[in-house]
Amino acid sequence: MGGCSSQSCHRCFFEYETERMIVVKSKVVGSVFRLIQFLILFYVIGYVCVVQKSYQETDSVISSVTTKVKGTGFTNTSDLGGRVWDVADYNIPPQGESSFFVLTNMIVTPNQTQSTCPELPNQSTICMSDSDCLEGSNDVRGNGIQTGLCMNYSETVKTCEVLSWCPLEIDINLPEHALLVAAEDFTVLIKNSVTYPKFNFHKRNILPDVNSSYLKQCEFNRKTDPDCPIFRLKDMVSEAEEDFQTMATRGGVLGIMIDWNCDLDWPEHYCGPKYSFRRLDNKIPENNVAPGYNFRFAKYYKTTDGRETRTLIKAYGIRFDVIVFGTAGKFNMVPTIVNVGAALTFLSLVNAVCSWFLLTCTKRRDYYSKHKFTYLDNTDDNAGEPLGETTYGTQ
């Protein structure tokens, strides 16, 4: 029957293992030893300290953003005639939450009133007689409530009559080119305030030495004026590698990225915003269902006889989303001690790895193993002989 007897178990319990130093003169083992040490030091110094800056305590940014768009444009259409557009017309809504919308194209349906008219023709609204129309029926994809009558939509097509805002909008006649061409020259002032509460650090993207006269004439340019917080719309779209007039026809969503990654071990003026721009909505040709960005709004009026009327506008344009992100770091003793301890732990493993390599992968592994492990007993007559450092060559 295998296993330890009570006497051998008692002896094993009172055994103690200690390290025995053996110096092996081997170019192969020595090279492996130094290579592993170098890789660990390179990882700790190059990646942990320089790249990750793990000696720092970090905090995430808290941000607030306000925007103000400026510019005027002119359109001349059959529905609206000649018209000048200012910020109150094309910036909808005037105050957004870290975003703003600029109208660039539209489908206008003027002079709508609450009345009855034939529904737009589709598979569910085309009829032959009144019996095909259900009074009071409300199709969520339709334009109103059916009256139960079948009316002439055209000389060849009949559809069910609906109670709605008439005449109904026909939204397939979108202009091929953006109506508000001048929108590419509009500008936006972005005011961004950030704070890192852990470090009691506060800053704005409008620098302390900037005055009102400078803001009236500056325009952001990555090379000549990178600190100006006023951006030309066309320049932002171009930096996102898009064509403004193409994007303005059906609309889209553009991201304004503001990066506030800061190393607070350096002076405050080194911490500043870095701007980048990219298109956020889908523009993949293979999946172009419902492209662009649009919504509807109406302007209401009262006629002289007190009747309510409205102009319905299906607005196409570019929505600009301001996205602020960042992390700040500052030297702290706690993460420094933790990472130094981790580095020392890694270095202490080098000996174990090299010992494994020595006893497993070298030709004289049996010879090294014989001299590395020695069993001493207090009853041994030679127990008093010193066992110090032993040097073995690679002979």
Would you say 76 is a known binding-site residue? no
Structure tokens that stand for 354 in this block: 């090299």
CA distance 341 to 347: 10
Is 391 within 8 Å of 23 (Cβ atoms)?
Answer: yes
Would you say 296 is a known binding-site residue? yes
293: CB partners within 8 A, 6+ apart: 250, 251, 252, 253, 281, 316, 317, 318, 319
Would you say 379 is a known binding-site residue? no
Would you say 74 is a known binding-site residue? no
Q: 219 φ, ψ to 5°?
A: -150, 135
Count the alpha carbons within 13 Å of 189 in the hemisphere toward its beta carbon. 13
Would you say 351 is a known binding-site residue? no
Strand segments, DSSP code E, in the chain are 22-24, 56-60, 62-70, 73-77, 81-85, 99-118, 145-152, 158-166, 187-196, 201-204, 230-232, 252-259, 262-263, 274-279, 294-302, 308-325, 327-331, 390-392
CA distance 236 to 321: 12
CA distance 32 to 187: 62
Could you tell me where the DSSP H helices lie in 5-154? 6-13, 27-42, 87-90
Is 50 within 8 Å of 42 (Cβ atoms)?
Answer: no
CA distance 326 to 262: 8
Would you say 274 is a known binding-site residue? no
DSSP state of 228: -
Phi-psi region of 148 (alpha: psi -120 to 50; beta: other; left: phi over 0): left
Would you say 234 is a known binding-site residue? no
CA distance 375 to 379: 12
* Upstream peptide bond of 226 is cis (omega within 30 degrees of 0): no
Would you say 295 is a known binding-site residue? yes
Binding residues: 68-70, 187, 294-296, 314
Please give the annotated binding residues for ATP, written as ranges: 68-70, 187, 294-296, 314
